[in-house]
Amino acid sequence: MTILFSNIKRIFKNKLNLIFMLVIPVLLTVVVIVGSSGGAVYKVAYIDKDNTKLTEMFLQELQAKSDTIKLVECKEEDIQNSLINNQFDCSIIIESGFTQQVIEGKEAQVDFYCIEGTNATEPIKISISSFFNSVKTIGNSAQSDEEVFYACMEKYLNGSIQIENLKFGGQEEGTQRRTLSIGFFAMGLMLLMMSATTLILKDKESNVFTRIATTPVSLKSYFIQNILSFILVSLIQIVVVLLILWKGYQMDFSGVFLQLVLLSLFFALSCISIGIIISRYAKKSSHVNAFVTLLTMPMLMLGGCLWPFDYMPSTLQNIGKFLPTRWYMQAATNVLEGKSLSSCYIQMLLLLFSSIIMLVLAFAKKVNAAE
Amino acid sequence: MILDVKKITKKYNKLVAVNDISLQLEENEILGLLGPNGAGKSTFINMILGLTKVDSGTIEIFEKKLNRIIKKKIGYVPQDIAVCNELNAYDNVMFFGKLYGLRGDKLKESVKKAMEFTGLWERRKESPKKYSGGMKRRLNIACAIVHEPQLLIMDEPTVGVDPQSRNNILETIKKLNESGTTVIYTSHYMEEIEEICTKVAIIDNGELIIEGTSDSIKNEVLTEKLVRLQLEDEIEKSIELINDIEGVISLSISGDTVTIKSKKEIDNLAIIIEKLVKANIKIISINIEQPTLEAAFLSLTGKTLRD
């Protein structure tokens, strides 16, 4: 196992490999997290012309969601410009007499303003609407009795009905972000494996390969140890990066972690076999580097690692269906959506068989140790 | 017998790289393998090391065909520096020591010994990239001797190094030989071969032209000797006097120097000097040119080693 452990040492001593291993998948994921709107706080402007106990209750309810909503009182003349200039995401105007109309069971509504065409503030709108629908129901039941109305409101607000305060975006957006982070992870895995496998070519270029052939170690053992070292390095990368994303950046992989590790290993094997076939047929490391660059990015793009696969035209989607990156992303998405690993067996078999075919082709070339 | 090569041949399509070569090597010898580029030296060495398949003939090392156990007794210093640049010098020697089956304390001791032997121990933690050309060559050797091989095959180990490093490497080879290592050494430098080799084999066009000690080859090949006389005057008169002396083949003049080519077996220098002295011709200097391996090689192949 001398070559195996020496290879691991050689791979991790190369700073570029560490960038491929950690920086690319983690950094790009962090950029996505920061750039996504899921964790953003909405700025909401309000004008309370009614100024009653009810409107005070309503504003307190909104303030209570301070992790997602920031309330700012505003003047009516400033509202339009503030919205246009993105100083606020939306605004609410409660007209005078609103509370009285509600208590009397009459039709009353709060004015809600936002920039047309954007649905980013839809959750706020729904939240406000939900509150006032309840208020109206209580108003109708109170039959114009203000005392009864507020007593009911108190009970409603402190009632036994507990509403879970979920972040806007919910679970589906979380899955999307996790899928995208897996795409970036696939990029790091692919780049590291392509880079690592060039060790075989480097050994040939530096005559270390010829020298090893003169030692008691057989060439068969040399190649097997190389492949095992690449698999071991990929396993280290998979576990470390997924743990960093999970524990460090709240990518929730609980329940799917082991499935993801296994799937990623299948994909890593595919990357290794591509790297080895390139290294076996290329004459120089510089050729490999150029070829890897030409191959990696289109594979990642067409496989849906860098953006949702469905965003691409159907022609490109059809090409993508033949790529290991697509098979991996499909399987990973299934697992992240809560489906079992057995639902991904076709993708796993495709990854495995394509790897075997590529390795067979790679070693079909005659080995000339004296070359 | 350390090496017994019998009638080996290797062809690449129509090109005969090695043609029917037989060669024996006894324990503790240093065999110098000479030949111009493309002569077949590397193919010959590759066949011994098992890197190239033999078309016909047999090779026995330590009286057996090459196998894993025999490989443990062989060290190989390739012509190019064959080390892992990602590892430091110490790790490189460790790596090759492990490949030869060394483990534990024995491995550590052997690595230290090899690095001290090549003068690299003090700078063992440095990357080979930071080494000078001579140091890289020595590291190349350290990786080949870490397992204390009984047969060391060195393919032009001094190419591109400065004279000081070359001397250092040659001293290393002598010391290794003194400690019992048999060496096969290829080089373009005749003086190196003459200095360290106990046996010389000259290969050209895939064939073994001659083998023996340096002196035996020179004696066998070179049939003439050269004497250069620097005279004060009367050059023409001296030509007349020397021309008739027994054994003289030809004479040539260059300025005040007369070059006399004579038959090797006839000792006529005393007669030449006596005749010139009697004729009152003053001799400023006498230069007897020693026969060299270079001259023997030229005589055998019709070309210089660097052709």
At A172 the pLDDT is 52
Q: How far apart are the first and last CA of chain B?
A: 34
Residue for token digits 């190196």? B192
Are A15 and B88 in contact, with CB atoms under 8 Å apart?
no
Whether residue A137 is found in the same domain as residue A270: no
Give the length of chain B.
307
Whether residue A134 is found in the same domain as residue A274: no
Whether residue A207 is found in the same domain as residue A355: yes
Tell if the CB–CB gap between B80 and A370 is shorter than 8 Å: no
Total domains in the fold of chain A: 2
Whether residue A219 is found in the same domain as residue A348: yes
Tell if the CB–CB gap between B72 and A216 is shorter than 8 Å: yes
Whether residue A346 is found in the same domain as residue A201: yes
The Cα–Cα gap between B131 and B140 comes to 12
Host H or E run for residue B227 = strand B224-231
Tell if the CB–CB gap between A210 and B51 is shorter than 8 Å: yes
At A37 the pLDDT is 47
Site from B52, B61, B83, B84 to mutate, A interface, most A CB atoms within 10 angstroms = B84
DSSP string computed for B123-188: GTTS-GGGS-HHHHHHHHHHHHHTT--SEEEEESTTTT--HHHHHHHHHHHHHHHHTT-EEEEE-S
Residue ranges of chain B assigned to CATH 3.30.70.100: 224-290
Q: In this structure, what is the dihedral angle of CA atoms A232, A233, A238, A243, given to the nearest 10 degrees? A: 100
Are B135 and B166 in contact, with CB atoms under 8 Å apart?
no
The Cα–Cα gap between A334 and B159 comes to 60
- B91 contacts in chain A (CB < 8 Å): 6, 9
Which of A98, A127, A157 is the C-terminal boundary of a domain?
Answer: A157
Which chain A residue is nearest to residue B143, measuring alpha carbons?
A211
Domain of A288 in residue numbering reads as 2-35+170-364
Are B10 and B52 in contact, with CB atoms under 8 Å apart?
yes
Those of residues 137-166 in B touching chain A at CB distance below 8 A are: 143
- Chain B CB within 8 Å of residue A210 CB: yes
B73-88 pLDDT per residue, tens = 999 999 889 999 889 9
The alpha carbons of chain B give a radius of gyration, in whole angstroms, of 24
Host H or E run for residue B92 = helix B89-99
- Whether CATH 1.10.3720.10 fits B224-290: no
Which residue in B21, B22, B153, B3 sits closest to B63, CA to CA? B3
DSSP string computed for A202-271: HHHHTTHHHHHHTSSS-HHHHHHHHHHHHHHHHHHHHHHHHHIIIIIH----TTTHHHHHHHHHHHHHHH
At A163 the pLDDT is 45
Whether residue A350 is found in the same domain as residue A223: yes
Which of B78, B87, B100 has its CB closest to that of A10? B87
The Cα–Cα gap between B188 and B36 comes to 7
At B139 the pLDDT is 93
- B87 contacts in chain A (CB < 8 Å): 6, 9-10, 13
Host H or E run for residue B270 = helix B269-278
Which chain A residue is nearest to residue B155, measuring alpha carbons?
A211
Whole-angstrom CA distances from A267 to A109, A182, A196, A351, B240 are 56, 12, 15, 6, 92
Lowest-confidence segment of A114-118, A132-136, B42-46, B239-243 by average pLDDT: A114-118
Which of A10, A218, A369 has its CB closest to that of B86? A10
- A8 contacts in chain B (CB < 8 Å): none
Edge-to-edge strand list for the sheet holding B56-61: B15-25, B3-12, B56-61
Residue ranges of chain B assigned to CATH 3.40.50.300: 3-219
At A167 the pLDDT is 45
Share of chain B above pLDDT 90, in %: 40
Residue A30 has pLDDT above 60, yes or no: yes
Whether A165 maps to a domain, the answer reads no
- Chain B CB within 8 Å of residue A366 CB: no
Q: Please list, residue by residue across A51-75, b when 16 or more beta carbons sit within 10 angstroms of its beta carbon and e when fewer do.
A: ebebbebbbeebeebeebbbbeebe
Taking 70 as the pLDDT cut, the residues of chain B under it are 303-307
Whether A163 maps to a domain, the answer reads no
Whether residue A29 is found in the same domain as residue A43: no
- B85 contacts in chain A (CB < 8 Å): 206
The Cα–Cα gap between B120 and B142 comes to 9
Beta bridge partners of B202: B34, B210
* 3-state DSSP assignment of residue B247: coil
A230-265 pLDDT per residue, tens = 999 889 988 988 888 888 877 778 888 899 999 999
At A251 the pLDDT is 75
Those of residues 13-52 in A touching chain B at CB distance below 8 A are: 13-14
Residue A34 has pLDDT above 80, yes or no: no
Tell if the CB–CB gap between B84 and A10 is shorter than 8 Å: yes
Phi, psi of A258 (to 5 degrees): -65, -40
At A264 the pLDDT is 93
- B74 contacts in chain A (CB < 8 Å): 214
Phi, psi of B65 (to 5 degrees): -75, 155
Whether residue A224 is found in the same domain as residue A351: yes
The alpha carbons of chain A give a radius of gyration, in whole angstroms, of 30
Residue A169 has pLDDT above 80, yes or no: no
Which residue in A111, A196, A104 sits closest to A144, CA to CA? A104
The Cα–Cα gap between B49 and A135 comes to 93
Whole-angstrom CA distances from A314 to A226, A310, A311 are 39, 8, 9
- Chain A CB within 8 Å of residue B82 CB: yes
Confidence of residue A165 (pLDDT cuts 50, 70, 90): very low
At A329 the pLDDT is 92
- Chain A CB within 8 Å of residue B99 CB: yes
Tell if the CB–CB gap between A370 and B99 is shorter than 8 Å: no
Which chain B residue is nearest to residue A13, measuring alpha carbons?
B86
Which of A203, A213, A216 has its CB closest to that of B68? A216
Q: Give the count of alpha carbons within 13 A of A244, CB side only.
A: 18
Chain centroid to Cα B229, Å, comes to 32
A97-110 pLDDT per residue, tens = 888 888 887 888 88
Whether residue A333 is found in the same domain as residue A215: yes
Whether residue A29 is found in the same domain as residue A46: no
Residue A35 identity (one-letter amino acid): G
- Whether CATH 1.10.30.50 fits B3-219: no
Residue A58: give its domain's CATH number: 3.40.1710
A38-72 pLDDT per residue, tens = 555 678 888 888 888 888 888 888 777 666 778 88
The Cα–Cα gap between A357 and A273 comes to 9
Which of A157, A181, A202 is the C-terminal boundary of a domain?
Answer: A157
Whether residue A16 is found in the same domain as residue A49: no
Whether A193 maps to a domain, the answer reads yes
Whole-angstrom CA distances from A102 to A48, A63, A92, A147, A154 are 15, 22, 17, 13, 16
The Cα–Cα gap between B20 and B234 comes to 56
Tell me the average pLDDT across A144-160.
81
At B194 the pLDDT is 86
Residue A356 has pLDDT above 80, yes or no: yes
- Smallest CA–CA separation between A290 and chain B, in Å? 21
At A27 the pLDDT is 81
At B147 the pLDDT is 92
Helices (H), chain A: 2-13, 15-18, 24-35, 53-63, 76-84, 98-103, 122-142, 146-157, 170-205, 208-213, 219-243, 249, 257-281, 285-302, 314-320, 324-336, 345-364
Residue A338 identity (one-letter amino acid): G
Whether A136 maps to a domain, the answer reads yes
Whether residue A210 is found in the same domain as residue A348: yes
CB count, 10 Å around CB of A212?
22
* 3-state DSSP assignment of residue B42: helix
Tell if the CB–CB gap between B69 and A10 is shorter than 8 Å: no
Residue A134 identity (one-letter amino acid): S
Confidence of residue A116 (pLDDT cuts 50, 70, 90): low
Q: Please list, residue by residue across B6-28, b when 16 or more beta carbons sit within 10 angstroms of its beta carbon and e when fewer do.
A: eebbbeeeeebbbbebebebeee
Tell me the average pLDDT across A286-309.
86
Edge-to-edge strand list for the sheet holding B30-34: B74-77, B151-155, B182-186, B30-34, B199-204, B207-212
B168-195 pLDDT per residue, tens = 888 888 988 998 899 999 987 888 888 8
